[in-house]
């Protein structure tokens, strides 16, 4: 195991990481997009993005796009490279505000978090569409890990923290259990060649209806390219 530093809240750090990784001339068979913050107070990343949207979504969007060429070169007809993106059941209540992705008009920690998780599902479906259109040996799937007992809940109200502390053993998954569906998506033979799936408890399930809106997927992708400073052409958009 070798560690390379990458701050998903920093576009500069992501680009530096990709340069370091590429310099190693290593293949890339699996990319798991798993960084995240939840219910943080209103604040911005160093690039000026609202933190939920900037870290949870845009960081992964840029990282994935910058690594796509390596992923495409690493995948084969019999062994596709795999992109796994971790979303949340919260995306079911999320609303994508294309005219206010930074939540500047009215900030809600819950709304901003849910929007970032919905964006990840829309991104995954659009990415799989582009990969299929290009004939690439790469698949993209999105995972719901469930309710997992981690430090992600440190910004919730103290009463919720107390309830979590008292009931986590009964209702929350352990980190190992929470990782199981991501691992399934990454290595299971059953997922070979399968892309554009929403997975929960190692099974394909239906995501929110709005996530299947292809026009919304396309518009979010185009806007995301502008925000992180890459062109549609460089990311494979016709």
- pLDDT one-digit tens code per residue, 2-40: 999 999 999 999 999 999 999 999 999 999 999 888 878
Q: Output the pLDDT for position 146.
A: 62
- Across-strand partners of 44? 50
Q: Which contiguous run of DSSP H or E holds residue 185? A: helix 175-187
Closest CA to 59 of 15, 20, 104: 15
pLDDT at 78 over 50: yes
Task: Give whole-number Cα distances, 72 to 26, 75, 80, 83, 151, in Å.
Answer: 13, 5, 9, 11, 34
Lowest mean pLDDT among 66-75, 131-140, 179-188, 229-238: 229-238
Q: What is the average per-residue pLDDT within 57-85?
A: 97
Residue percentage of the chain with pLDDT more than 90: 72
Sheet with 138-144, edge to edge strand ranges = 30-33, 81-86, 138-144, 198-200, 203-205
**What is the arithmetic mean of pLDDT over 51-75?**
97
pLDDT beyond 60 at 157: no
Please, which pLDDT band fits residue 145 given cuts at 50, 70 and 90? confident
The SS3 call for residue 131 is helix
Contacts of 50 (CB under 8 A, 6+ apart): 42, 44, 101, 102, 103, 104, 107, 112
Band of pLDDT at residue 167, cut at 50, 70 and 90: low
User: pLDDT at residue 147 above 90?
Assistant: no
Clarify whether 5 is annotated catalytic: no
Average pLDDT over residues 58-69: 98
- pLDDT at residue 171 greater than cutoff 70: no
- Of 5, 92, 107, 113, which one is the catalytic site residue? 113
pLDDT over 90 (residue 225): yes
């Amino acid at each position: 195991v070798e560690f390379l530093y990458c701050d998903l809240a920093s576009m500069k750090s992501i680009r530096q990481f990709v340069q370091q990784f590429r310099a190693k001339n290593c293949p890339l068979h699996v990319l798991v997009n798993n960084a995240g913050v939840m219910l943080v107070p209103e604040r911005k990343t160093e690039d000026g993005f609202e933190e939920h949207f900037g870290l949870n979504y845009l960081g992964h969007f840029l990282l994935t796009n910058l690594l796509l060429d390596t992923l495409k070169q690493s995948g084969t007809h019999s062994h596709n490279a795999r992109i796994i993106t971790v979303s949340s059941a919260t995306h079911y209540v999320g609303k994508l505000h294309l005219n206010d992705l930074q939540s500047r008009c009215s900030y809600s920690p819950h709304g901003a978090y849910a929007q970032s998780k919905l964006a990840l599902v829309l991104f995954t479906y659009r990415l799989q569409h582009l990969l299929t259109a290009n004939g690439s040996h790469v698949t993209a799937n999105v995972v719901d890990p469930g309710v997992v007992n981690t430090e992600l809940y440190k910004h919730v109200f103290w009463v919720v923290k107390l309830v979590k502390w008292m009931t986590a053993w009964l209702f929350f998954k352990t980190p190992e259990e929470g990782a199981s569906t991501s691992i399934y998506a990454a290595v299971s033979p059953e997922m070979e060649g399968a892309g554009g799936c929403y997975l929960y408890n190692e099974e394909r399930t239906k995501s929110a209806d709005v996530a299947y809106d292809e026009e919304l997927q396309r518009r979010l992708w185009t806007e995301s390219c502008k925000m992180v400073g890459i062109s549609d052409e460089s990311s494979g958009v016709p």
